[in-house]
């Protein structure tokens, strides 16, 4: 199947700093990528849909000024958590659809574990 | 809105068969997905149903009834490595909505 990578795999930062997470589709081009957040023992919650060349679509309750998404190329989307606080500590996972396979399956990156002190 | 329900936890014995149910009420439907997720890892794709009926793939099978808003994932010949969370997700034209997930514990 298609491969999606994320970087970094984990990050620890101080409260008030910003953290950037990268999501790359390695062997296909993705016009759409998705960003999820997962708290311990909970399911994945969609935060936003990242669209190449246009603004991201945020889910209800997700602050677009706090979670900045940039999808500048067909293989890269970035999520920046601005002014991070301890409650932002979570597992952030991106996914992308591979249009070559009909486009219905989402391939997930390995996730980024963010810990805000 | 979207409402997807799964049992929170299940336990089964190695070698046995287990069925994980999922019921959903969603606005828009573009298929139902099952993903497996081991602790601390990203989900991996197991199955996709868009038409009613049973899809079989090795030890795993998935069933869908669109009129009942119901799906199940059937795992046969359980192995210890099958201990994981199993996520039911409904596809709408532009995104996936996940259920809360079912944590399956396989015991000896």
pLDDT in tens, A16-53: 999 999 999 998 888 889 999 999 888 899 999 998 88
Residue B101, min C-alpha distance to chain A (Å): 6
| pLDDT > 70: percent of chain B | 98
Answer whether A110 sits within 8 Å of B100, measured CB to CB: no
8 Å CB contact between B81 and B94: no
Q: Quick check: A112 pLDDT over 90?
A: yes
pLDDT for residue B1 is more than 70: no
Residue to mutate among A43, A90, A104, with most B CBs inside 10 A, is A43
Tell which residue, A99, A92, A91, has the closest CA to residue A75: A99
Q: In this complex, is the C-beta atom of B48 within 8 Å of any C-beta atom belonging to chain A?
A: yes
Model pLDDT, residue A95: 94
Residues of chain B with C-beta less than 8 angstroms from the C-beta of A9: none
pLDDT band at B28 (very low <50, low <70, confident <90, very high): confident
Is a pLDDT exceeding 80 seen at residue B6? yes
Tell whether B33 is within 8 A of chain A (Cβ).
yes
Q: What is the DSSP letter of A59?
A: P
Our CA-based measurement puts residue B78 at a distance from the nearest CA of chain A, in whole angstroms, of 22
Q: Which residues of A touch B41 (CB under 8 A)?
A: 110-111
In the predicted structure, residue A2 carries a pLDDT above the cut 90? no
Nearest neighbour of B42 by CB, restricted to A34, A42, A109: A109
Per-residue pLDDT for B18 more than 70? yes
Residue count (chain A): 117
Among A8-17, A60-69, B38-47, B66-75, which is the least confidently predicted range? B38-47
Of A32, A41, A43, the CB nearest to B87: A43
Per the CB < 8 A criterion, the answer to whether A2 and A98 are in contact is yes
Tell the residue number behind the tokens 């491969």, with chain if given: A3
8 Å CB contact of B95 and A45:
no
| pLDDT at A1 > cutoff 70 | no
- The pLDDT assigned to A102 comes to 67
pLDDT (mean) for A70-78: 91
Residue B87 exposed, middle or buried by CB count within 10 Å (0-12, 13-18, 19+): buried
Per-residue confidence (pLDDT) for residue A103, from 0 to 100 = 63
Given a cut of 80, whether residue A97 has pLDDT beyond it is yes
Q: What is the mean pLDDT of chain B?
A: 93
- Least CA distance to B101: which residue of chain A? A43
The mean pLDDT value for B18-47 works out to 92
Tell me, what's the pLDDT at B104?
Answer: 97
Predicted pLDDT at A72: 82
């Amino acid at each position: 199947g298609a491969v999606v990578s994320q970087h970094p795999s984990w990050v620890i930062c101080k409260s008030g700093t910003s953290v950037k997470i990268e999501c790359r589709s390695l062997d296909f081009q993705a016009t759409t990528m998705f960003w999820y957040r997962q708290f311990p023992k909970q399911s994945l919650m969609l935060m936003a849909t990242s669209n190449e060349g246009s603004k991201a679509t945020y889910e209800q309750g997700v602050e677009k000024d706090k979670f900045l998404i940039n999808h500048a190329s067909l293989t890269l989307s970035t999520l920046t958590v601005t002014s991070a606080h301890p409650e932002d500590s979570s597992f952030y996972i991106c996914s992308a659809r591979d249009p070559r396979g009909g486009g219905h399956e989402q391939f997930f990156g390995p996730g980024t574990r963010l810990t805000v002190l | 809105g979207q409402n997807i329900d799964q049992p929170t936890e299940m336990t089964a014995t190695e070698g046995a068969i287990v069925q994980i149910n999922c019921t959903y009420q969603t606005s828009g439907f573009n298929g139902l997905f099952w993903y497996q997720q081991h602790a601390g890892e990203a989900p991996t794709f197991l199955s996709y149903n868009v038409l009613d009926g049973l899809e079989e793939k090795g030890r795993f099978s998935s069933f869908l009834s669109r009129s009942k808003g119901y799906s199940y994932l059937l795992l046969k010949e359980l192995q210890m490595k099958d201990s994981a969370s199993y996520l039911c997700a409904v596809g709408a034209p532009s995104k996936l909505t996940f259920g809360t997930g079912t944590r399956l514990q396989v015991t000896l």
